Structure formats: structure tokens, C-alpha cells
Structure 1
Amino acid sequence: MSTNYLTVQALTKYIKRKFEADPHLRDVYVKGELSNVKVHNSGHIFFTLKDDRAQIQAIMYASSASTLPFKPESGMKVLLRGDTNVYESAGRYQLYVKDMQPDGLGSLHLAFEQLKKELQTRGLFKEEFKQPIIKYPRCIGVVTAQTGAAIRDILATLQSHYPLAKVIIFPALVQGKNAAASIVQAIHQANDHGEVDTLIVGRGGGSIEDLWAFNEELVAEAIFESRVPIISGVGHETDTTIADFVADMRAPTPTAAAKMAVPDQTDLMQKILSMQARIHQNTQALVKHERARLNRIRQAYPMVYPERLYRPFIDELLRLDDRLIRATNDVLQKNRSHLQQLANRLQNQCPLKEIQYELKIVERHNNALHHAMQQLLQQQKNRFVSTIRTLEALNPLAIMSRGYAIAYDDQEVIKTVDSMMVGQTLRLHFHDGQANVAVQSIDKAQEE
């Protein structure tokens, strides 16, 4: 009796058909722990699913893996759905996974925590990279849906708080499959615009699925790389997204983001009025101080008696003039004595004619010296008189002695008839006293 031996391939195919024919091995729901997770360049994910007592090889093809919002990692407990079948070339059965969810934590929440941890490690949340928000923006950009409550609230808030700023809307999808790419494109447009100095990125409230576009890695990177400071305003106050962590400033709502982007015009007006009041008070105090200083100067001894300013100089000039005359006389006397001595010596030693000749020369020199001294004295006297006249011309009392008077209204000097009125009482200062007068009429000079 001959025995029919099966090939390995035939036996494997037979086992595989048994697996495929068993309905209990299709759409199997299995839970376990991931181990030896490997992601192939093609996008396929290979891993081992195990529990305390057994394990099974598994694969998740790229078409299914691309829809996962999180990254499968070794040690992660998961809930799987898939088909059990035989992998012929390896001669083993394995699980072909169609769907995967975290066991105990939602997939989106897990993806959120994974990305948050990754970006935090990369430094995208660090305060040192956050840009300051401009205090008084000129142009505010808004990245959000073109319609909806969020854009209406943002525009209304900006208009009521700070209408000076120009607002430019960069429309973007904020929900759905293409929302993340749309938000990134709008952020790039705002940066390329060149005029925007503050950017608000956000949308109204919703579920975690509705807000998921703001948890995408490409949106986080676009916010981090933005040259324009960004304020995130996503969802309600209790909602937190990855965009909030990366943004330069986080606002709890879109309306709050608009308030943070601009100063309040009411507060600005109060500050301006307060500064105006302080400037007025400081100016008044300065004017009062300088007026008091001017009055002190006017009442100072040199201003009341200006002639006493130059009286010491006159006395000094007289003293110097007297010294000059005495010194000149002393020099002349000494020269006369010396000449007399020389004349006596010459008379005793020289012939009479020579003596007479020399005496005439001496007399000429004596006359020339006397004439020069007289001229010098006259120049000094002329200079002294000129100085006295200059001082007298500068003396305000001397000007007033020629018939002029200065009119005062209280402490202010009246310089023009425009500052006078009929019936006004003025005080006139003359060189020898004062008088109070009343203005009866005003005649203004006609301009030519």
C-alpha cells in the first residue's frame, strides 16, 4: 500500500482554506499588548500581540495604518479588529488588523498626548521661543472660517475695543480632513502679506474631533515657524489644543483672543486724560516756579539799584586814573632831576655852545615826552567817559528818566494794547515812583 505525502505548500494551503472558511476567524475582536512594533518604509506596521499566556503575530497594512490618529508603540494596550489567516511563506497564522484603538484611552486623546510629548521634547513649547505680542498693532490677521460665530465675535470685539487697527481675514477650513493643510496655508499667507503684525488663529467650540485640526503636527510647526506673533483662540475655555501650547499667547476663546490682541480704547483714553492732567499740573507748577524766580530777580538789589552795579568800576577807574597821573608826574620829576644833573655835569665839562645845543635837544625830547603823556592821559579819559556813557545807556532807570514808563497788570508787563481792556487798572512805573491808572479808551495803531 503506497502512502501519499503532501507537500508543505499543499498542507499550508489546506490549513489556510480552513481558516478562510471559518466565519469565527473573520472580524475577530482581540485585545492585548503591543510588542516588537516595527513600521516599514511602505507604511505597513508589523508587531506581536500578546497577553500573559500567549502571543500572535500581526500586521496592519498601510491603507489601514494611515487612518490611525496615534502612533502604535510597544507596551501599549490596544483593542483590535481584524481577520485571522495563514501566512503561507512563513507557515504561521497571524492577525491581519483592520482597526486599532487604545484600550482604556480614546485614540484621539492618546494621539494628543503623544504629539504633545514629542513637540515638548523638540522644544516647541519653550517660553524662550515665544514672541511678544505687539501692544499697539496696526494690522491684525485672523485665520479662521470665513463664516460662523467665531469670526463675527472677533470682528465685533476688535471694532469695539480698538477700531484703529486694520483687520485682514485669511479664510481657512477649521474642521475636516483638509482643515490642517488649509490652516497652514492661511498662516503662510499672513506671514507673506508683510503688513500683519499680530495674528489670531482659532475657531469656536466643538468636540475633540471638531477641534482636531489644531492638534495636527503640521499646524503646530507652522505656528512655531511664524514670524508674526500668534494668539491662539480655539474652542471654549475648557478646550486645550496643541496649537495653544505652541502659540505665542493662548486665549480661552476667540473673543478673548481678540481682546488680548489689542488695548482697550476706553483704558487708552483714561491714560491719555491722566497724562494730560499730569502735564498740565507740571506745566502750571513750572510756570509758577519760574514766575516766582522772575519776581525775585526783579526785586533783587542789583535790579532795583542798577547804578550800584557799575559804581565799583567807576571808583576803580578813578583810582587807576589818579595812580596814572601820580606815576606820570613821578616819572617826569625823576627825568627832570636826571636831566638837571646831566646839564650840570655838561656845563662843568663841555663848552657853552655844545651845552646849549644838547640842552635844546633835551628840551625837544622833554616836550615830546610831555606831549605823549598828555595824549595818553587824554585817551584814558576818553575811554573812561565812553565806558560811563555805555553803562548809563544800559541803565533802565536812565531810559525811564527820559519820560518812559513801564505798564504792569499785576506782575505781568503790558507789551501790546491787545492785552488791555477799557476799565482795567494798571500800575505805571516811572524812574522816580509808581502810579495806578485806569484805561478809558484804547486806540490801536493802524497797520500799513
Structure 2
Amino acid sequence: MAVYTVSQVSQHVKEVLENDPLLADVLVEGEVSNLRVSSAGHSYFSLKDDQALLNCVMFRGQPGAELLASGSAVLAHGRLQFYEPRGSTDFMVDLAMAAGVGELALELERLTLRLEAEGLFEQSRKRSLPLFPKVIGVVTSPSGAVLHDIQNVLRRRYPLAELLLAPSLVQGPNAAGELVAAIEGLNRDGRADVIVLARGGGALEELWPFNEEEVARAIYASRIPTVSAIGHETDFTISDRVADLRAPTPSAAAEIVVPDQYVLRQQLDEILGYFDRIWAYHADSRRSDVARMSGILEGILPDTNNWRRRVDD
């Protein structure tokens, strides 16, 4: 039997442990105990159940650290790491959530963090919307109340704008692919001045296509400014974060992307009234100038009547 050094065994354990794909991306549910927060803000604690205990480390700034409290039940994501000098195995936590949130919520949080790190949500890259758009591209279901609501708002506020529909499923397993195709199709077409992605409210599962990575990247790559109007005001999707602007509802999106014709008419009336006042002022000023010059001329020109009388005499 071969004899190994402590270092060799430790190195082997480390390689086996850290090269296991399961342990490199693992989700653990347990009760927090022995919580200690260092002066640097890092959290050291244990996750336990009724049969075992796992030592955990969560560095400062990781999402969900504020949920850690002794006795609280959490869902923690991270990877296992073997620390050779101490001969200990630690669970390196990069995300903590309240227990019971479910797989979709966790997946949403992880994707949000990854895309944020890539800069897809960066405010500095977001574009302004055109002031007077001629064509509004709308990505939504061709049936249902959402399209009807948007049409009504556009007709009322700014009937000069044309609505260009790019029909798409807005829920279900095939929706993400159709949403991407609709966004890319409007970009190829080139007529739309702004794109509105819209659907009504729903549960997280129903809104999920707007949390898909491929949809987020299509919005990010769009050359046309985009407005995301998904669900109700309390709903928030990854599409909302990537888009140039987020509207709380589809109707609100229609209000945002076009000006109000009545406000424009009022502004035009005010401008015309201003020019009328300027014209009247200048006309009055010119009349005053003419009257003043007439008086001056009368004072310096000879009295023609006197000259006529002298001639007659």
C-alpha cells in the first residue's frame, strides 16, 4: 500500500471536491446557526438540519446576506471549497433567499445578477425616446385587451402615429423565441421609431418569457429604443431592466411614447399668441415712429400756404 503525505491527500480531496459539477453549483436549504459577521462585513455561519451541519462563508456584498439570522430558514446557492491549511470544507455562498421561494425565483435572481455584471442594465447605455415618433412598433399578442388598450391611447393622444404590430406569443414555452423574432424583425424592417413590448399581468410563471436570457439579449441588441410594459406596476421582469425605459402598464407605455395632441395644440396656440403680441407691439411702435417723424417734418418744412399767399399778392 502506498504512503501519502498529508499535503498529497489534502490536494486530492480538494481536486475531487472542487471538480465535482454538482458541488460547484449547488442549492442548499437549511437553518442558519452560529452566525458571526466579521469587521470586514463577511458572514461566517452554519447551515444545519436535524442530521448534519455545513460550515458556510458569505462575503460582504453578496445578495441576500441581510436575510441571515440565527434560527432563520434560508435557501443558499454556492459551491463547496476545501481549505487545505485547516483541513475544512466550506460552503461558499453567493446568494441567499428565504426558504420556500421556489426554483423560478432563484433562477431569476441568478440570471439578474449575471446580466447585471455584464452591463446589460447599465443606465449610461439607455437611449432617449423620439419626441414625435411616426411609427410605433408593438410586440404583443394580436388578440386580447393589451393591443386594444394601446390602440385606444395612441388614437386619443397622437393619431398621426402609425402602429406596426409584430405579433408574438407572450407566455408559454415558445413565447421567448417568438419575442426574439419579433424584436429582430422590427429592427430589420427599420420603420419603427420606438418598440413597445407589452403584455398584461400574471404569475411569475406566466411572465417568465420576459425573464429569458435570449429575450434580454435581443432587447439589448436592438438598434431601436425599447419600452418594456410587462404586467402590472408591481411586476418587474428582466426585460424591464434591459429596456431603455420601463412603463408600469401597457397603457402607460402608449402614453409615454407619444405626445398629447391637445397639449401640442395648446402650445401652438400659445406660440401663435406670442407672435401676435410681438406683431402688434411692432406695428404700434412703427405707427408711433411715423407720427413722430410727421411732427418733426411739419416743424422744419416751409409753410406752403404762406408761400401761396405771397405769390398771389
- TM-score of Structure 1 vs Structure 2, range by shorter chain: 0.5 to 0.7
1:432 Cα shift? 3.5
1:211 aligns to what? 207
1:223 aligns to what? 219
CA distance in 1, matches of 2:143, 2:242: 25
1:305 Cα shift? 2.9
2:90 aligns to what? none
Answer yes or no: is the 8 Å Cα contact 2:195–2:225 preserved in 1: yes
Answer yes or no: is the 8 Å Cα contact 1:38–1:46 preserved in 2: no
1:119 aligns to what? 115
Change (3 A) 1:115 1:138: same
Q: Secondary structure at the match of 2:263?
A: helix
Amino acid at match of 1:74: R
For residues 11-22 of structure 1, the aligned pairs below 5 Å read none
Unaligned runs of 5+ in 1: 1-34, 56-70, 76-101, 308-396, 398-430, 434-448
* 1:173 paired to 2:178: no
Amino acid at match of 1:224: Y
Amino acid at match of 1:118: R
Amino acid at match of 1:180: A
Q: Secondary structure at the match of 2:204?
A: coil
Among residues 298, 305, 308, which one is paired with 1:432 in the alignment? 305
Higher relative contact order (CA 8 A, sep 6+): 2
CA distance in 2, matches of 1:193, 1:238: 33
1:72 Cα shift? 6.3
Change (3 A) 1:268 1:47: closer
Amino acid at match of 1:169: L
CA distance in 1, matches of 2:25, 2:241: 33
Change (3 A) 1:268 1:126: same
> What is the number of equivalent residue pairs in this alignment?
233
Q: Deviations over 1:29-83 (max 9, x none)?
A: xxxxxx858549xxx988698957659xxxxxxxxxxxxxxx96427xxxxxxxx
1:439 aligns to what? none
1:74 aligns to what? 79
1:142 aligns to what? 138
Answer yes or no: is the 8 Å Cα contact 2:25–2:79 preserved in 1: no
Q: Structure 1-normalised TM-score?
A: 0.48
Q: Deviations over 1:328-370 (max 9, x none)?
A: xxxxxxxxxxxxxxxxxxxxxxxxxxxxxxxxxxxxxxxxxxx
Q: Deviations over 1:74-122 (max 9, x none)?
A: 27xxxxxxxxxxxxxxxxxxxxxxxxxx943221111111111111111
1:276 aligns to what? 272
Q: Deviations over 1:6-34 (max 9, x none)?
A: xxxxxxxxxxxxxxxxxxxxxxxxxxxxx
Answer yes or no: is the 8 Å Cα contact 1:38–1:47 preserved in 2: no
CA distance in 2, matches of 1:129, 1:48: 34
Structure with greater Cα Rg: 1
Answer yes or no: is the 8 Å Cα contact 1:37–1:46 preserved in 2: no
Unaligned runs of 5+ in 2: 1-16, 29-46, 54-75, 81-97, 307-313
CA distance in 1, matches of 2:19, 2:236: 30
